[in-house]
Chains A and B, each alone.
Chain A
Amino acid sequence: MTRRSDDTYSRVAAKVIDIISSLPPEAVIGDVFLFGSALSKEEPADIDILLIIDELSITPSTAYCKAEPMTLLIEAATGKPVDLTILTNTEEANSQFSETVNAHRILKRLLSPPH
């Protein structure tokens, strides 16, 4: 997985990166990845975001609720719906979803590596 420089992202993707980068640490509960058409298209139908959480730090049953402020902020700023996928680091390690969809990590938050 290689992170591209910001000037090769779409404007929508660059805006999402700016928003997430400006959030306080407590507002972002895991590693944030962008994937899908929002990476390259200027008018994507939605914004696909993958959030990988450390299940030792974040209870999966509360993850969507805790991620909602981030999601709402992105939707308000871009005018596009966010399609959020949340996986635990174990689920990501087993499924390799980020590699499957060539997701681009735009923020690293996990305290421990996937196991």
Chain B
Amino acid sequence: MSLDSQLDWTGFFMSNGENSWGVGYSEIMFFSQVLHSHTAVASFTRSKDIVFDIVRLANTSPLRVLLLSEYRLGESAAYKALQDFSDIQVIVNNGNWNAVVLNKIDFKKQTGIHVMEVRNFLGALNDPAFG
């Protein structure tokens, strides 16, 4: 069993693994801490360094989320992410200066995958219908 599969919900017992998407450890820790303090999140685990399985409070479905940190997240990068991580439901792009530039509505229709910035994702977590 890898360290990643033993992570607990606090987000602090996490190995400093590697990922091929250039997402830094500080960004992973930031996202973990934000999830830890989010009122809609019951627990979460991390795998493959940047995949988060998030269990929300009652009456909401669990989410598998991929954390990226792309300067500009376009359609090409989103499709590559789906090729690398086929079982995700949401792609979240972290970073104050970063942005999602693809057509989110069209991409959701085509793939069933949500693509959004962190701040929008944190709001969406409160919506029981999101996922």
Interface check B85, CB cutoff 8 A: no
Identify the closest chain A residue to B79 (Cβ): A61
Query: Please, how many angstroms separate the alpha-carbon atoms of A83 and B75 in the complex?
Result: 16
CB-CB < 8 A to B74: which residues of A? Answer: 60, 85-88, 91
Cβ–Cβ contact A83 & B22, under 8 A: yes
Closest to B21 in A: A83
The complex places the Cα of A55 from the Cα of B71 at a distance, in Å, of 20
Q: Check: A76 CB closer than 8 A to any chain B CB.
A: no
Interface residues on B, range: 10 to 19
Q: Smallest Cβ distance from B79 to chain A, in angstroms?
A: 4
Q: How many residues of A contact B (CB 8 A)?
A: 19
Contact A95 B101 (CB under 8 A): yes
* In the complex, A8 has a CB within 8 A of chain B: no
Q: How far is the CA of A83 from the CA of B68 in the complex (A)?
A: 13
- CA separation between A55 and B80, bound complex, in Å? 15
Contact check, A87 vs B72: say whether CB atoms are below 8 A apart: yes
Answer whether A91 and B80 are a contact pair too, CB < 8 Å, given A83-B22, A97-B101: no
B120 within 8 A of A: no
Would you call A87 and B76 a contact (CB within 8 A)? Answer: yes
- Asked if B7 is an interface residue, CB under 8 A from chain A, the answer is no
Chain B contacts with A in 106-126, Cβ cutoff 8 A:
none
Contact with A along B67-111 (1 / 0, CB 8 A): 000111011110110000000000000000001011000000000
Q: Which residues of A contact B (CB under 8 A)?
A: 48, 53, 55, 60-61, 63-65, 81, 83, 85-88, 91, 94-95, 97, 101
